[in-house]
């Protein structure tokens, strides 16, 4: 399964709309606005989804080093692969963590290392058992280290309620939740741990 | 500003929002108590008697599912309520209210980052909807009491790397909720819940030194004036913060930061790791005990009648554990897809800009 490019583009379009309708944008001078639009157009011309870019190879290398040093965890290549396509997002209470920034750089999405330190602190039983990759108001999304699989965890139980076929399925599901795409069949999910992802159209979890 | 493509909220949710705001108004009588503890301005400890649920239970699962379906309807109804709308405009601005109108969590664009040779990214502020009494606590009123606007709060959960200063929800969990609900399965205990006296927290992003200044700001936002009770609360909150934006105090970031020590190479052998864990747990327990009264139970142990908390937050018994008057049906559809916003045609006045 691949990341759903249509959902990523939809998120990018939504963010562009949010930016252009924002008080911040309306308060920019004509020159500042033109400059910003030029930079957004440049990003698009470079093959980057405007406002939803992937991480650069330097950012990925830094993230790997930080995860080794601070979490004692080697990040799975599948996670790194996804971050090169979408370096985190936050929308409608759904957050995909991105590459942590250096102290002198501004953060725009929750950093993966920082979030894992914060969550492992709150839920010590999860430390080095789960590598958290995102969250919503109802679920945590994580890589279960012992089984090398991706799961949704109930919000403070820290036990899996759903197992995804891979990180791409997990991120597609998060995107669907963030954007408000749901199909009625997904409500059939009983909340019990499933060994195989259900064969449903559209998203395969999305209880939110 | 309204979103014409969004369906209006149903009548029962609108009645429930009205009930929630009325109950919130009755929660404290003296607005001066808002500044009782500057570390936690506008927070009271709501004493309930509850039991931590086995989070794999059917009850927990059903509560979670029902909440997922009603959240969007709640956000729409809150943005439509005259007082709710004005309070929302103060906390999350016009951008945030527009999202709430379509049933989505509010956020507002602060600016963009444009590092050299890197793509443009949005820098935003996010508020998420949370339960005041956690879903993982069983109370007398059952699911109807937990999944109700009386028990919801929209909290700033903006996270910037290690900086959790704009994430009071995480702070409340670490300081109060986790220590009191940990290791207490199958026991009904008093639980002191941190409860904001505002439906959005923090309620403002800039200071207000006078009621005239607050009214002028609301007017510039196109909001209806707030009832006096809310004006006084906002002004007291602003005063408690020295008329600056609220940030979680630095001393409380230590628990999270200290956890990084656990994974240093010298602490990786099991004995050393356990020792660091115990030290950290003791620190977290000690901090919680500074705020909680003697009948509170931390990590399964009651503090005891001789315990005197160092800090004194107002203690209330809101009755949130009982069934609400206006219950919410649980068969509602989930939230709608959000439509791309259209840029406003009218340029806002300078006073409409959001400061943080």
Q: What is the pLDDT of residues A180-204, one digit of tens each?
A: 876 544 433 344 444 443 333 334 5
> Which ranges in chain B belong to alpha helices (H)?
11-27, 58-80, 82-101, 142-146, 168-172, 178-181, 211-220, 228-240, 254-259, 270-289
Dihedral (CA of B60, A124, B258, B193) sign: positive
Q: Which residues of B touch A174 (CB under 8 A)?
A: none
Residue partners of A193: CB distance under 8 A and separation at least 6: A160, A161, A162, A163
CB within 8 Å: A39 and B120: yes
Statement to judge: residues A130 and A192 lie in one domain: yes
Return the residue of B nearest to A39 by Cα.
B120
B324: left (phi over 0), alpha (psi -120 to 50) or beta: beta
Q: From CA B262, how far away is CA B258, in angstroms rounded?
A: 8
Statement to judge: residues A71 and A42 lie in one domain: no
CB within 8 Å: B115 and A105: yes
Return the residue of B nearest to A20 by Cα.
B343
Statement to judge: residues A124 and A35 lie in one domain: no
Q: How many CA atoms lie within 13 A of B151 on its CB side?
A: 29
Statement to judge: residues A174 and A85 lie in one domain: yes
Check CB contact of A37 with chain B, cutoff 8 Å.
no
Distance from CA of B84 to the nearest CA of A (A): 19
Helix axis angle for B82-101 and A5-21, nearest 10°, is 140
CB within 8 Å: A114 and B161: yes
Task: Indicate the pTM of the whole model.
Answer: 0.86
Residue partners of B266: CB distance under 8 A and separation at least 6: B272
Among A52, A71, A95, residue at a domain's last position: A52
Residues 66-105 of A with CB under 8 A from B: 70-72, 90-93, 95, 100-101, 105
Q: What is the pLDDT of residues A100-112, one digit of tens each?
A: 987 777 789 999 9
State how beta strands A89-91 and A94-96 pair. Answer: antiparallel
Residue B207 and residue B238 in contact, taking contact as beta carbons nearer than 8 Å: yes
DSSP letter at B349 equals P
β-strand partners of B111? B123
Residue A17 CB neighbour total at 10 angstroms: 16
ipTM of the complex: 0.86
Residue B166 and residue B248 in contact, taking contact as beta carbons nearer than 8 Å: yes
The pLDDT profile of chain B, 356 residues, written as one tens digit per residue, is 444 456 889 999 999 999 999 999 999 999 999 999 989 999 999 999 888 776 666 777 788 888 888 999 999 999 999 999 999 999 999 999 999 999 999 998 999 998 888 999 999 999 999 999 988 788 888 888 899 999 999 999 988 777 778 888 888 887 888 788 776 656 778 899 999 999 999 999 999 999 999 999 999 999 999 999 999 999 999 999 999 999 988 877 766 555 566 666 677 777 877 777 677 777 778 889 999 999 999 888 899 999 999 999 999 998 888 889 888 887 655 667 776 666 654 443 333 333 32
Statement to judge: residues A15 and A78 lie in one domain: no
Statement to judge: residues A47 and A58 lie in one domain: no
Statement to judge: residues A132 and A160 lie in one domain: yes
Distance from CA of B78 to the nearest CA of A (A): 16
Statement to judge: residues A67 and A47 lie in one domain: no
Statement to judge: residues A13 and A36 lie in one domain: yes
CA dihedral B178→B183→B187→B188, nearest 10 degrees, is -10
Statement to judge: residues A44 and A58 lie in one domain: no
Among B2, B38, B86, B15, which residue's Cα sits nearest to residue B313? Answer: B38
Quote the distance between the C-alpha of residue B127 and its chain's center.
8
Residue B164 and residue B277 in contact, taking contact as beta carbons nearer than 8 Å: no
Statement to judge: residues A38 and A78 lie in one domain: no
Q: From CA B34, how far away is CA B236, in angstroms rounded?
A: 6
**Residue A116: which CATH number?**
3.40.1580
Domain count, chain A: 2
In which residue are the tokens 């749901």 written?
Answer: A182
Statement to judge: residues A17 and A74 lie in one domain: no
CB within 8 Å: A181 and B337: yes
DSSP letter at A85 equals H
Range of the domain at A1: 1-52
């Amino acid at each position: 399964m691949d990341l759903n490019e249509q959902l990523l583009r939809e998120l990018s379009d939504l963010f562009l709309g949010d930016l252009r309708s924002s008080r911040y944008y309306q308060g920019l001078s004509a020159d500042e606005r033109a400059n910003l639009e030029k930079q957004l157009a440049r990003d698009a011309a470079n093959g980057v989804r405007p406002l939803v870019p992937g991480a650069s190879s330097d950012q990925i290398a830094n993230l790997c080093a930080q995860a080794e040093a601070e979490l004692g965890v080697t990040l799975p290549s599948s996670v790194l692969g996804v971050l090169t396509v979408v370096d985190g997002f936050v929308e409608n209470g759904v957050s995909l963590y991105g590459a942590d920034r250096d102290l002198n750089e501004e953060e725009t999405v929750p950093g993966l290392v920082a979030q894992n330190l914060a969550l492992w602190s709150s839920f010590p039983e999860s430390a080095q058992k789960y590598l958290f990759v995102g969250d919503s108001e109802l679920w945590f999304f994580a890589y279960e280290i012992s089984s090398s699989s991706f799961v949704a965890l109930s919000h403070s139980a820290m036990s899996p309620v759903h197992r995804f076929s891979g990180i791409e399925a997990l991120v597609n599901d998060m995107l669907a939740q963030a954007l408000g795409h749901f199909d009625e069949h997904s409500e059939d999910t009983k909340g019990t741990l499933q060994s195989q992802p259900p064969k449903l159209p559209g998203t395969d979890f999305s209880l939110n | 500003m309204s979103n014409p493509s969004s369906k209006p909220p149903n009548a029962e949710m609108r009645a429930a929002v009205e009930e929630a705001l009325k109950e919130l108004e009755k929660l404290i009588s003296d607005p001066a108590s808002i500044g009782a503890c500057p570390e936690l301005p506008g927070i009271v400890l709501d004493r309930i008697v509850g039991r931590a649920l086995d989070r794999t239970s059917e009850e927990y699962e059903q509560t979670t599912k029902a909440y997922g379906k009603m959240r969007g309807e709640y956000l729409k109804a809150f943005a439509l309520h005259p007082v709710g709308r004005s309070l929302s405009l103060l906390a999350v601005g016009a951008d945030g209210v527009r999202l709430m109108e379509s049933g989505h969590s509010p956020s507002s664009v602060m600016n963009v980052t444009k590092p050299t040779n890197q793509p443009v990214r949005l820098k935003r502020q996010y508020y998420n909807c949370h339960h005041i009494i956690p879903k993982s606590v069983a109370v007398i009123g059952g699911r109807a009491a937990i999944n109700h606007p009386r028990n919801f709060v929209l909290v700033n959960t903006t996270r910037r790397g290690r900086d959790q200063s704009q994430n009071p929800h995480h702070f409340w969990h670490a300081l109060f909720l986790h220590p009191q609900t940990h290791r207490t399965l199958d026991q009904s205990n008093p639980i002191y819940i941190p409860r904001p006296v505002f439906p959005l927290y923090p309620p403002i992003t800039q200071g207000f030194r006078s009621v005239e200044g607050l009214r002028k700001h609301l007017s510039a936002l196109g909001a209806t004036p707030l009832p006096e009770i809310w004006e006084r609360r906002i002004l007291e909150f602003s005063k408690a913060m020295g008329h600056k934006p609220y940030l979680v105090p630095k001393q409380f970031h230590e628990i999270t930061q200290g956890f990084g020590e656990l994974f240093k190479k010298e602490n990786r052998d099991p004995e050393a790791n356990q020792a660091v864990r115990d030290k950290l747990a003791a620190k977290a327990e000690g901090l919680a005990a500074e705020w909680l009264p003697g009948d509170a139970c931390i990590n399964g142990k009651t503090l005891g009648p001789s315990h005197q908390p160092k800090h004194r937050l107002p203690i209330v018994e809101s009755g949130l554990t009982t069934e609400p008057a206006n219950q919410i049906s649980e068969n509602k559809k989930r939230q709608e897809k959000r439509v791309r916003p259209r840029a406003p045609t009218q340029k806002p006045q300078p006073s409409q800009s959001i400061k943080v």
